Amino acid sequence: MLRILRSAGLGALVGTGLAFGGGVALAADEVTISHYFTGELGREGLEEIFSRFSSETGVTVKESPIGHEDFKTGILVRAAGGNLPDIFSYWAGARTQFVVDAGNLQPIDAMWAANNLDDVVSKSIADGATRYNDKRYLVPFGYHYAGMFYNTKVMADAGITEMPETWDEFLATLQTLKDKGITPIALGSKDRWPAQFWFDYLLLRTAGPDYRAKLMAGEASYTDDQVKAAMGLWKSLTDAGYFAENANASGWTDASDKVASGEAAMTLMGTWITGYWNGNGLKPGVDYDFFEFPTVDASIPNAVVGPVDGLVMSAKAANQANAEKLLAFLVSDQKAQAKWSQVQGALSPNVKVDESIYTPVMKRALETVANAEAFAFNYDLATTPPMAEIGLSMFARFMDDPSGYEAYLQEVEEGAQDVFEK
């Protein structure tokens, strides 16, 4: 009762009574799942995958998709009301840690062992994304790599045949494009998160993965010289006029459209951009390609950035057996994994998936991740959610007026001291 009432309380906070409601007993052949894979994030493909699961197992999948940004709020309301679905999608890293610490998830070690998932899931993903507090909680469904995606024709027309590997080469490339009257970089930071990849890579390339991990855990300060240096480097790019104007007025798809149309040359984005572009008729490797974020200091280990989309089982799943079946199916069924990679532009955590399913661009992305010395979650998945909110707002503020970045960092550090109770 208390949970129901608490849920009603939350509903009132957002001005809606929709949160009110208790759990409903389900038939034995059902499993409930809520996820954020809507629209361009692969909804259609997922329906097909669920349909195949149902026909193979006789278990009906009752799904409730919620838009990516609204999902963060929606799942909180359901958790507070004790009304979580059997399974829900969640981002591996600090966000999952947050929900695990709150006692909302059920460990899946037994299911993992019974389905021999150690032989199925790539070791680096299994080690880095699935275990929390020494237990396994998350099944990786797909993962992404953030790279510099560019329009091949625009680069060729500007005479750029070799993609930059070092910072100096990168600057030369940007200047060449600018001199030709092409906007070098598109960024759509309206929803703030697309700007985070710049901070992530600049900090990783200048201060290294160990320092970044400390900053994400609240063990370093946003006013440290390392952070200032990374932000300073970012500012040098904005000062030079390499970014398209009004970044905060565009979403990531707007920025992707600018690159696709040739209005801008490149955008730093996750591999889900390939799903979006392929859906719009662009040919991977022909119309677009990517290069790795350039090295700034050769002595610093090469790290790649990206998110792992996971699936977790709620602590009080009403249909545990069916939920475990679905979790195992989604990660181990090669056809499901192949389909998901194709529709979403995701890389498969399943090592048995035939690499021929990948486009040439995705195959290179896979190799890039495999060759990297470290895989880091992007900012809003690497640090705790309250801290991520503060940092993401700072990135958007930086894109509006980079000149005040040192003052912004001071404010972010004040927020960090509050969040991490330093």
Partner 1 sequence: MSAPLFRAVTMARRLDTGIMERQNTIWRILLLAIPLAVFSIFIVWPLLNSFYYSFTNWNGFNAEYDFVGLKNFSKVLTTRLFTNAAINTLIWMVAAIVLPSLAGLGLALLLDSKIRGANVFKSIFYLPICLSAIVVGQIWVWIFQPDWGLLNMAISAISGEPFTYAWLAKPGSAIYAVIVAWSWQQTGLSMVIFLAGLTGIPQDLTEVAEIEGATRWQRTWHVVLPLLRPATVVVIALSVINSLKGFDILYIMTGGGPFNSSDTLAMYMYNESFKKYRMGYGSAISVILFLITLTIIFIYFRQLKKVDEIYD
Footprint of partner 1 (CB under 8 A): 5-6, 8-15, 17, 20, 72-73, 76-77, 79-80, 98-99, 101-104, 190, 192, 245-246, 248-249, 385-386, 389-390, 393-394, 396-397, 400, 411, 418
Rounded to an integer, what distance in angstroms lies between the CA atom of residue 147 and that of residue 154?
A: 17
User: In this structure, what are the phi and psi dihedrals at residue 136, rounded to the nearest 5 degrees?
Assistant: -95, 130
**What secondary structure does DSSP assign to 94-140, as a single string?**
HHHHHHHHTT-B---HHHHHHTTGGGTB-HHHHHHHSEETTEE-EEE
Cβ proximity to partner 1: between 290 and 408 the closer is 408
Shortest distance, CB of residue 387 to partner 1, whole angstroms?
9
- The closest of 296, 303, 302, 174 to 229, measured between CA atoms, is 296
Cβ at position 255, least distance to partner 1 in Å: 12
Tell how far CA 375 is from the center of its chain.
12
35: which strand partners?
Answer: 65
Closest distance of CB 159 from partner 1, Å: 27
CB of 69 to partner 1, least distance (A): 9
Distance CA 268, CA 256 (A): 10
Minimum gap (Å) between residue 243 Cβ and partner 1: 13
Residue 101 CB coordination number (10 Å): 12
CA angle 377, 382, 388 (to 5 degrees): 130
Give me Rg for the CA atoms of the chain.
22
Alpha carbon distance 39, 397 (integer Å) = 28
Between residues 300 and 419, which has the closer beta carbon with respect to partner 1?
419
Q: Which is nearer to partner 1, 1 or 298 (CB)?
A: 1
Nearer to partner 1, 266 or 394 (CB): 394
Looking at the Cβ atoms of 241 and 386, the one nearer to partner 1 is 386
Provide the token pair at 138: 């998350």
Q: Measured from the CB atom, is 292 or 413 closer to partner 1?
A: 413
Nearest approach in angstroms of CB 146 to partner 1 is 22
The residue among 9 and 360 lying less far from partner 1, judged by its C-beta, is 9
| H or E segment and range at residue 247 | none
- Shortest separation between residue 6's beta carbon and partner 1, angstroms: 7
